[in-house]
Structure 1
Amino acid sequence: MRYSISGFRGLSAWLLVLVSSLLFSSSIKAEDRLFWQALAQGGKVVLIQHALLDEAVGDPFSLDPSCFIERNLSEAGREQARSIGEAFRQQGIKIDAVWASPHCRTKDTAELAFGEFEVKAELRLIRALTEEQANANLRWSRQLIGNFNAEGNLILVTHRPNIGELIHQRVRPGTVAVVEPLGDGLFDLVATKVFD
């Protein structure tokens, strides 16, 4: 039986792609397991960036009780928010409270995903605030997260810059970050998941 070198190369390349895809798939599943296991244990703080926006309309920095001048969720974002909540319900995740920034896009994400929620001014978009107020809100958030102590989980629906400052990672709409409180205002990032 004869084998050509080019045949071996083709077979080797194919095997490499197969092994790589299997390893990638198993690492995704392991991350998914870690994400849901951490939430099932309870006692975590969950940072959620609001869902996808309609980028063509509205001012991202404004607060408007009517939501008319704000940048709001797109239809895809509304569906994304619902899918986050449905996944939490399917997994039986215990939630102690859901808090949202006062912007319409975060309130809508919280309501579509979880139903009841409470507005917390401290979760407002930090880029819409003075530097002094933004820093004060971030200090409040760090203390809240680090000192959280309950059986269930606390959900905080907020904004990309806020979450980025807290976990030092770039996030995108629909990102959910699970954080482990350590006391004294300290915490560790456990896992993240993006709901598309």
Structure 2
Amino acid sequence: MHRRHLLLAAPFLATRAQAQGHLLVAALRAGDVVVVMRHGITDRSQVDNGDLPRREGQRNLSDAGRAQSIRTGRAVAALAIPLGEVLASPVFRARDTAELAFGARARIEPMLTADDYTPDPALLRRRIAWLAVRSGRPSYAGATDILVGHVVPLGMMLGRPLAQEEFPEGGMAVFAPGGTGRFLGVLDARTLWVVAAA
């Protein structure tokens, strides 16, 4: 009986998720929002060693992550999303995501550095506080700013751990303006692509 109810609910849940995705895409197109985007799909056989300037010893984008980033950039362009600032963590998987998706407009922002590259707890707290404020302040009225970073800092900002399924690689957490951003939800890359192709 319980399984039957789950099966009956599945189409409703999918429709609800699709509707949420469409609402978030509409918010991106309308502007006056800030997106905290997670870097693209990575090569999980690689492990971070904490050496920020060296690509070797970092978990980098996989071929799928590079393709995902390019496709996301094309979807953003196709939807005529009014891009404002594009800022990226200096960790290579985030900066590569930003550059592949948004080209030369992407700039490195040290405040977006991943937690495992921020051994000083006081500096990490400052970075999380910066992210909380920046997520509520688009660079100008009508802009959709994109901050390409990492899952753990976003979870710390929201005050709870984020599961991989909740904020997948390539996902976009969307925030409306405020003193600290008002969290609207997470848009996954595939939903963005589907809406762009429609």
Q: Give 1:6's aligned residue.
A: none
Measured after TM superposition, the shift of residue 68 of structure 1 is 2.5
Tell me the percent identity.
Answer: 28
> How does the TM-score come out when normalised to structure 1?
0.83
Distance 2:84 2:57 in 1: 32
The 1:169–1:153 alpha-carbon spacing in structure 2 relative to 1, beyond 3 Å, is: farther
Contact 1:64 1:70 in 2 (8 A): no
SS at match of 1:147: coil
Please say if 1:25 is aligned against 2:19.
Answer: no
The one-letter code matched in structure 2 to 1:132 is: A
Map Cα deviations across residues 142-177 of structure 1 (whole Å, 9 max, x no partner): 222223342111100001111112234612311111
Contact 1:174 1:195 in 2 (8 A): yes
Contact 1:178 1:192 in 2 (8 A): yes
SS at match of 2:35: strand
State the 4+ residue runs in structure 1 displaced beyond 3 angstroms.
none
Q: Give 2:194's aligned residue.
A: none
Contact 1:127 1:134 in 2 (8 A): no
Contact 1:38 1:190 in 2 (8 A): no
Distance 1:48 1:139 in 2: 17
Q: Give 2:170's aligned residue.
A: 174
- Within the candidate set 52, 55, 68, 2:41 is matched to 52
Q: 5+ residue gaps in structure 2?
A: 191-198
Larger radius of gyration: 1
Q: Give 1:4's aligned residue.
A: none
Q: Give 2:78's aligned residue.
A: 90
Q: 5+ residue gaps in structure 1?
A: 1-8
Map Cα deviations across residues 106-132 of structure 1 (whole Å, 9 max, x no partner): 010001111120001111012321111
Q: Give 2:196's aligned residue.
A: none
SS at match of 2:40: coil
Q: Give 1:79's aligned residue.
A: 67
- Within the candidate set 119, 122, 147, 2:108 is matched to 119
The one-letter code matched in structure 2 to 1:173 is: E
Distance 2:97 2:49 in 1: 15
Measured after TM superposition, the shift of residue 21 of structure 1 is 3.5
Map Cα deviations across residues 6-30 of structure 1 (whole Å, 9 max, x no partner): xxx9xxx5x983x434312321221
Distance 2:15 2:49 in 1: 38
- Within the candidate set 137, 140, 144, 1:147 is matched to 137
Matched pairs, number: 180
SS at match of 2:181: strand
